[in-house]
Amino acid sequence: MGEEPNTILMAVLRPKYSSWETLKAMVDVTESDEESIYSLEIGGDRYSCFIMGECGGIAEDYQIDEEDGSIVCFNMVTSDYGDSIEWGELYGKQNELDLWAKEVSEKHDCTYCIKVGANYW
């Protein structure tokens, strides 16, 4: 475990069908990239995305634990001791993420939830 605390804002999507096909439709990936982490922009922020259970040590590195097959899109909203975010700014980021996740979920037949978590680097 590292020494720097982080606050994580994440969308967890659970596709009804193939997680890999859903992720490929969301971001620009190729078949050879199946065990990688991907980046996309949501509401002006960069989010990292991966499939739980198919990402090697990525989930463990980021200390994220979700159901296998879930697509996790996350952003570190704080990243150091003493770092903070105002509630209004966090709420705005959550709203942007929720709007994005709702649209993606409707388009790709998923369920989703928005979560706030923490880890240590």
Q: Which residue has the tokens 């990292």?
A: 48
At CA 43, angle to CA 6 and CA 116, rounded to 5?
Answer: 30
According to CATH, the topology of domain 5-120 is Alpha-Beta Plaits (3.30.70)
pLDDT in tens, 3-54: 677 899 999 999 999 998 898 888 866 555 555 788 889 999 999 898 988 7
Q: How far apart are CA 102 and CA 111, in angstroms?
A: 8
Domains in the chain: boundaries: 5-120
pLDDT of residue 101: 96
Order of strands, sheet of 71-78, starting from the edge strand that comes earlier in the sequence = 38-42, 45-51, 71-78, 5-15, 110-120
Q: How confident is the model at residue 1 (pLDDT cuts 50, 70, 90)?
A: very low
Structure tokens, 72: 């996790």
Helix axes 19-26, 87-108, angle to 10 degrees: 120
pTM of the entire predicted model: 0.85
pLDDT of residue 97: 97
Q: How far apart are CA 110 and CA 72, in angstroms?
A: 12
